[in-house]
Amino acid sequence: MTAADNDRSPAMATARDLPGRQDGADTAPPAQEPASAAAAGRLSGLRGVDPLDVGIVIVVLAVIVTGMLTTRFFSLANARAILASTASVGITAIGATVVMIAGSAVSLAVSQTATVVAMIFLATQQFGLAAAIIAGLLSGVAMTAIQGAVIGFWTANPIVLTIAAGFAIGGVATWISGGTTVYPQVTAFNGLNDTPLGLPLAVYVLLAITGVAQWLLRRTTAGRYMYLIGENPRAARAAGLPVGRVTVIAWAIFGACIALTGVFLAAFNTSANASLGGTLSLDAIAAVLAGGTAIGGGKGSAVRTLGGALLISAISDLLLLRGFSTGIQLLVKGLLVAFVVIAVHVRSTRGRR
């Protein structure tokens, strides 16, 4: 889905081969200016300075300035709190970024997947921590990669598919757990709740995952394919790029991230029931969008998402310290996402007029 001319069902466009005339015999030169003016300073590719980042810098400055006027904002304890609250949503958000870049937009099955992984993790505690983690990871990757295969090979609509998957996975979760909470028989996972240097282990994992995802997106063939496929799936198909395979890889990574989040949630809550996943689906999407990754695909990065997640956490924390309710925090979060989304879109279409 290209950003420039959203003349086809912008909500969720899947490329349709229209039985119409596709060859135009008489051609006028393309309507876009080759313009040096457009190129100058308005790059929307993988590098370059652009006005969106300027906007975000302004927001960050506003946060810093307000923070300075707020007691306890610039303290170590508060910094730790911000980082800690970013961790679980952040890890999932990194996975969601990879999938969004690869063109599959969003998944609404995230909460249920995390819940099931948590249940499996707790249920396999007696085989040792490593085995339980592996079991969780494998199940998360499997559940998500299957969705990726259907989306990649059959060009299924991601929203409908993940809603369906969400029902299936949620149903399975309720079935296995019998509708009750899952308690572990053995608690081998206490180590996961450690806080080396005062930061939850999950934060370190988040940072590591961000690094791995960033590297993957930039330095591997699969990552490069994801950017191409996300930007123009039709062109990717016509060029013979392995669209199906790469989509599965992207979703598998997403699955691993969701699984990690599930594991940490399980360790933190020491039990798992159907509502463990909470609003993870939308929170993750919001973090990705706030970082400036476009929902249409083909652009963005893991680092951006980390920034977006941190920004959301920081703003929520700031508002909390200043006495604003959770409601206001949510409201501001929504406005921030709206602002970034609009700015991202305007910037990418401006360069093409």
Does position 323 bind other proteins by CB under 8 A?
Answer: no
Smallest Cα–Cα separation from 202: which of 194, 212, 210? Answer: 194
Tell which one of 56, 263, 299, 304 touches other proteins (CB under 8 A): 299
- Taken in order 61, 66, 70, 73, is the CA torsion positive or negative? negative
Does position 296 bind other proteins by CB under 8 A?
Answer: yes
- Supply the minimum distance, in Å, between the C-beta of residue 236 and other proteins: 8
Does position 25 bind other proteins by CB under 8 A?
Answer: yes
**Residues 232 to 261 in contact with other proteins, rule: CB under 8 A:** 232, 234-235, 237-244
- Supply the minimum distance, in Å, between the C-beta of residue 165 and other proteins: 7
- Supply the minimum distance, in Å, between the C-beta of residue 201 and other proteins: 29
Q: How far apart are CA 46 and CA 261, in angstroms?
A: 28
Helix, coil or strand: residue 117 = helix
Binding segment for other proteins (CB under 8 A), chosen from 62-70, 80-88, 205-213, 331-339, is: 331-339
Close Cβ partners of 185 (under 8 Å, ≥ 6 residues apart): 125, 126
**Residues 52 to 91 in contact with other proteins, rule: CB under 8 A:** none
Smallest Cα–Cα separation from 207: which of 81, 290, 99, 91? Answer: 91
- Supply the minimum distance, in Å, between the C-beta of residue 170 and other proteins: 5
Q: Which is nearer to other proteins, 187 or 326 (CB)?
A: 326
Close Cβ partners of 158 (under 8 Å, ≥ 6 residues apart): 12, 104, 105, 106, 107, 151
Tell me the HSE value of 90 on the side-chain side, using a 13 A CA sphere.
28
**Residues 171 to 200 in contact with other proteins, rule: CB under 8 A:** 171-172, 174-175, 179
Tell which one of 75, 126, 187, 279 touches other proteins (CB under 8 A): 279
- Supply the minimum distance, in Å, between the C-beta of residue 240 and other proteins: 2
Number of residues binding to other proteins, judged by CB under 8 A = 120
Strand partners, 272: 182
Tell which one of 126, 193, 220, 270 touches other proteins (CB under 8 A): 220
Tell which one of 121, 189, 227, 264 touches other proteins (CB under 8 A): 227
Residue 199 near residue 84 (C-beta atoms within 8 A): yes
Query: Checking phi first, is residue 103 left (phi over 0); if not, alpha (psi -120 to 50) or beta?
Result: left
Does position 9 bind other proteins by CB under 8 A?
Answer: yes
Does position 330 bind other proteins by CB under 8 A?
Answer: yes
- Supply the minimum distance, in Å, between the C-beta of residue 141 and other proteins: 18
Residue 91 near residue 192 (C-beta atoms within 8 A): no
Binding segment for other proteins (CB under 8 A), chosen from 50-58, 67-75, 125-133, 343-351, is: 343-351
Q: Which is nearer to other proteins, 257 or 344 (CB)?
A: 344
Binding segment for other proteins (CB under 8 A), chosen from 74-82, 188-196, 224-232, 254-262, is: 224-232
Does position 142 bind other proteins by CB under 8 A?
Answer: no
Q: How far apart are CA 92 and CA 109, in angstroms?
A: 12
Phi, psi of 142 (to 5 degrees): -60, -50
Q: Count other C-beta atoms under 10 Å from residue 98's C-beta.
A: 30
Helix, coil or strand: residue 182 = strand
